[in-house]
Amino acid sequence: MYPFLLVGIGGALGSMSRYGASLVISRMWPTGFPLATLLINIIGSTAMGLLIGLLPRLMPSLQEEARLLVAVGILGGFTTFSAFSLDTIVLIERGELLLAGTYVLLSVVICLIGLYLGLLVTRGVA
């Protein structure tokens, strides 16, 4: 039961954070492009890399609990891959194929780079 509670609390916090960040980003940079989803996925992917790289060093005895709360819960709720998928299909249905392709390419490549950089940063920390 405890693991489900950790994931549930984390997921609620992550989802609320995603919603808040999306509102702020959308107000700062109003556009038809799903910029908020893209930025949230980049931030979440980078944070995941940092977290997974740091957990074994900083919290070895609480590694599993922290992983459930933060990685599965908070970051799982914060990142928006399902929203990414919907945004992509909406762009395709609107006939904006170039924009959809750009969005997919940027999302996948930059998020993977962000996660990898997060891991590199933490692996360089002694």
Domain ranges of the chain: 2-123
Q: Tell me, what's the pLDDT at 125?
A: 66
Distance CA 64, CA 84 (A): 28
pLDDT of residue 70: 92
DSSP 61: G
Identify the CA nearest to 76 among candidates 118, 14, 2, 34. Answer: 14
3-state SS record for 69-113: HHHHHHHHHHCCHHHHHHHHHHHHHCCCHHHHHHHHHHHHHHHHH
Q: What percent of the chain has pLDDT over 90?
A: 71
State how far the Cα of 25 lies from the Cα of 100, in Å rounded to an integer: 19
pLDDT digits (tens, 9 = 90+) for 39-93: 999 999 999 989 888 988 888 888 889 989 999 999 999 997 877 887 899 999 9
Q: Is 76 annotated as a binding residue?
A: yes
The answer to whether 95 is annotated as binding is: no
